[in-house]
Structure 1
């Protein structure tokens, strides 16, 4: 739930900031130009928030407020700039199409789990590994929580505990 609230906060903060920046100019412009005047700063602010801020502190503004961090898989490393840019572009392309994806019937994925078939064991591709922090509310083996760029969102406390345990294990 935190992840979804963080996404909503990111969107709200981005649109609020873009609206405040362009407010003096929108009233003087015609409708088409006003949309461009608001959309361009919104894209720039979105990029700064989702890519640059996440690269610097492992979280965007909404994720910082909600206590969520972005990590790279499988070793909880800091996300790379290329991964963050790919994730941002994917979000821009997929977000407007969400209603379309929900309305059309889904084809069966290769390797999709069918009722009555047991889940594969840990260690197989696409399966959550023991010891790696899991997102809030995730199920082991769930591919829905994996990001397109090989990133994952986890609670800050879980990440801190995981990194402490890795450091303690490495020093032994």
Structure 2
């Protein structure tokens, strides 16, 4: 739930900021032109949030607010720029398709669970990562893990 709230915050902050940037130019524009004007700033702000900010501080704005960090597997270290760019591109394709996966996974009246969509949650107790080899973890869990690893090394 925390991860979905973080994604929602990221989307909200990106769209509101882009809307404020584009507003002076979109007042007199027709709707298709206004949407076209909005796409550029949304992509730039999304890249800055998901790649640049995550490379610098370990999480995007929504994840920072929700207390989540993005780590590289298996060492729980900082992700590299290539991993972050792959994750961002994957997210641009994955997130818009979630309603489709949700509709295909649970046909009405069957109560079925699952489906063909990508998995990003724990399945049968095994943590899975996104295709870039990254994982989102709570900041407190990451700190506890690092203390435990440092204690074993001593």
Global fold match (TM > 0.5):
yes
Partner of 1:156: 139
TM-score where L is the length of structure 2: 0.84
Distance, in Å, in 1 between the alignment partners of 2:124 and 2:104 is 25
Moved over 4 A (4+): none
Partner of 1:34: 34
How far the C-alpha of 1:142 sits from its partner, in A, is 4.3
Q: Which runs of 5+ in 2 are unaligned?
A: 106-114
Partner of 1:167: 150
Partner of 1:140: 125
Partner of 1:100: 100
Distance, in Å, in 2 between the alignment partners of 1:138 and 1:81 is 28
Tell me: CA distance 1:139–1:54, structure 2 relative to 1, closer, same or farther (3 Å).
Answer: farther
SS in 1 for 2:56: helix
SS in 2 for 1:104: helix
Distance, in Å, in 2 between the alignment partners of 1:142 and 1:44 is 31
Partner of 1:125: none
Partner of 2:25: 25
Q: What's the C-alpha RMSD, in Å, of the aligned pairs?
A: 1.9
How far the C-alpha of 1:76 sits from its partner, in A, is 0.2
How far the C-alpha of 1:103 sits from its partner, in A, is 2.7
Structure number, greater radius of gyration: 1
TM-score where L is the length of structure 1: 0.76
Distance, in Å, in 1 between the alignment partners of 2:100 and 2:28 is 35
Distance, in Å, in 2 between the alignment partners of 1:4 and 1:33 is 31
How far the C-alpha of 1:35 sits from its partner, in A, is 0.7
Distance, in Å, in 2 between the alignment partners of 1:14 and 1:92 is 13
How far the C-alpha of 1:25 sits from its partner, in A, is 0.6
Tell me: CA distance 1:95–1:55, structure 2 relative to 1, closer, same or farther (3 Å).
Answer: same
Partner of 2:86: 86
Question: Is the aligned partner of 1:73 residue 2:73?
Answer: yes
SS in 1 for 2:137: strand
SS in 2 for 1:158: helix
Distance, in Å, in 2 between the alignment partners of 1:8 and 1:139 is 27
